[in-house]
Amino acid sequence: MATTTAAVTLTSDLMSTNMSVSASTTCMKAGTTADGLDQMEYGYLDLPTGDEYDLIATTPTATKASKLYLKNHSTDETYYVAITQNAQAIGKLYGGDWMFIPADFHDAAGDIAITANGGTNKICYALFHEGTVLVTT
């Protein structure tokens, strides 16, 4: 099986003592600890303003595991990308911000849509999954 590890470390001097939180996970298929996600989709692209776009071209299979990493590489801190899942707003990524979400992108409407604000945003994304529904030509 493929072994893909995703880790986060949060550090801060917000509190009276320094804070550090770390978490790491091996990206697994749904409901197992023995079989890792073995498919991925990766992209780096310019996102123009004006319309909402589907980030994921193909739809991950329902009830399967998916993990999405998304980063806004814009250097202007006023630029942001609005993110919706299943038509519900779930987050905003300003220039430099990133997100990592485990989710069930279960159908064409249930995947991730993104909208650029402020100007053309540069984004990078990686989707780890265990199968997608390919779109016929």
> Is the separation of the CB atoms in 46 and 53 below 8 Å?
no
Total interface residues for another protein by CB under 8 A:
55
x-marked contacts with another protein along 3-42 as a string, rule CB under 8 A: xxxxxxxxxxxxx---x-x-xxxx-x-xxxxx-xxx-x--
Smallest gap, in angstroms, from Cβ of residue 136 to another protein? 26
Task: Give the separation between CA 33 and CA 94, rounded to whole angstroms.
Answer: 34
Choice between 25 and 120, CB closer to another protein: 25
Selected from 47, 93, 113, 116, the binder of another protein by CB under 8 A is 93
Nearest to 126 by CA among 27, 29, 49, 48: 27
User: What DSSP state is assigned to residue 49?
Assistant: B
Smallest gap, in angstroms, from Cβ of residue 57 to another protein? 19
> Is the separation of the CB atoms in 127 and 43 below 8 Å?
no
Choice between 24 and 136, CB closer to another protein: 24
Specify the stretch interacting with another protein by CB under 8 A; choose among 44-52, 54-62, 80-88, 129-137: 80-88
Q: How many CB atoms lie within 10 A of CB 93?
A: 21
